[in-house]
A and B are shown apart, each in its own frame.
Chain A
């Protein structure tokens, strides 16, 4: 039997929402309610039960209250997060500026002339884009970006040291790698700051104790 064909069912359905403040007055349903003893009884019992449920709704035990009160925002992580976002944003902006200046021939050398150079430039542009996205959403993106950025920065720095010490390149040319290094540092800090508290909290904290860790 559906509410369309059963007036009792339809009235009780309306009554349930109306009592919760989710349905307006309905003269037809009200008229049925006034004339139907079964629905009037149903209404009284339903009202009694929901009132009892609201009155007797169980409270969280004191142990849970205490343990929730001991959970705090990781303040150092918040500060680290701000620093990381600043570094990532700086890397993204300075990297973009250097790329544009390089492309118009005002800074460093453009590598777009060769296939290998284009591949390297594409990787750099992808990383700079990644830094910008990670600065926007560090908690979601920094951890994924971090391994690639750190590896790319480490290899670049190592090669730069070799080239500068052997005299193949001037130190000023190596400045173009600075955004990559700063971005990798920013991604590392952001990934650390985004770690779950459980991984950073001491093992005897109330939360760990409650979880039997």
Chain B
């Protein structure tokens, strides 16, 4: 499976919220400030999570998210609905992350790690740490599909690659997470034996 998606909803799997967001974006593109505000509120978590997945830092994600919505104020007039607005924002966010990282090289800010603590019978594991350790492409594909709920087709549109590539990146991410999780359990068990 290596087809590159071309329509906004190739598999017909997009949710009512996705269609609502697209409608808000079309209104915002015509200059409806209220619709733009609603759109920002609807998408700021998705954009922030994606920025975090790219930077591995909460602080940088904060900066890049603001930069993304700032850029959107002028760019939204060019939104034509050829791709879902969530994809459109993800592409904008990726550019903003690049710009934010360039700015940070000039004036770095202290990075604040994000935590996603999960307790199991052997102790506490920080899932955020495991996700941050994934290769960048797998991490992006994993966050888009598992945290943001993107279909593989929308994730492929966002990352500019074939659907088949997303499928293997997601699988690779899951496989590495399972290995890391099992490794943690083994290590914890060995520590307990000692």
Residues of A within 8 A of B (CB): 12-13, 16-17, 20-22, 42, 45-46, 49-50, 52-54, 56-61, 63-65, 67-69, 71-75, 78, 81-82, 137, 139-140, 194-198, 207, 210-212
> Lowest 8 A-B CB distances belong to which pairs?
A60-B48, A78-B31, A16-B171, A73-B33, A57-B147, A56-B116, A197-B73, A68-B44
Name the distance in Å between A15's Cβ and chain B's nearest Cβ.
9
Report the bound CA distance from A68 to B38 in whole Å: 11
Given contact pairs A52-B127, A207-B66, A210-B62, A73 touches B76 in the complex (Cβ within 8 A): yes
B77 pairs with A68, CB closer than 8 A: no
B145 pairs with A207, CB closer than 8 A: no
A196 pairs with B147, CB closer than 8 A: no
Question: What is the interface size of chain B, counting residues whose CB is below 8 A from a CB of the partner?
Answer: 57
A-B contacts counted at CB < 8 A amount to 145
Most buried by A among B44, B48, B73: B73
Task: Name B114's closest neighbour in chain A (CB-CB).
Answer: A58
Q: Which of B1-54 contact A (CB under 8 A)?
A: 13, 28, 31-33, 36-37, 40-41, 44-45, 47-49, 52
B49 pairs with A71, CB closer than 8 A: no
A49 pairs with B63, CB closer than 8 A: no
A22 pairs with B151, CB closer than 8 A: yes
